[in-house]
Structure 1
């Protein structure tokens, strides 16, 4: 019987986890910058760093910390895909797939989170503005 590992044992594993987190953050920043640039912000980089997700008061308890079923399905599907690649492949094929599939999944999840946050911000702006134009 072997004990369960709670934290990575080697520095390489830590770098992999930090790299996945950094890729997620970088993807979110690039998406926020593109959105700010598209919206005509004077300083799109500042707008990307100042982006905040609005609080949602009607989050469902059944979804936990996920905002939608798409987000939950994306997370579970991504985890299943990575586990399948890691368990069903070996050697160079595993390395190749993990270096391509895992980053694509992380970027797709960042894009999905960005879209959900953008939709929530637009909904909050519409309800806050009350639909008044031309003031």
Structure 2
């Protein structure tokens, strides 16, 4: 009997223009929301030579750790891609937010200041 095809999704990769939340434990100056530059590197003074575009996140994390190894002993790094989510409609602060992909509609609405006094949660739109 033939084996079933693997339903595994391809690894998540970053592209130019994408933004990720980088956390370097015990080094807040290296942490923050960092954009992938047009040349495929990270738009950050410390990591501007680290190529990340089209590379799986576990390899990106390893490259950042290598880059930090001369500043920290055993650096602890977390990298999370952020999605651009447009929150509009009857919310207090409609705009584009950078949020983790697993963000729920309710979480996005709260981030946008919740529905206005005259609004209703069904009048909130996400794109």
| TM category, shorter | under 0.3
The structure in which a higher percent of residues are helix is 1
Q: Using structure 1 for the length normalisation, give the TM-score.
A: 0.23
Higher relative contact order (CA 8 A, sep 6+): 1
Q: Using structure 2 for the length normalisation, give the TM-score.
A: 0.24
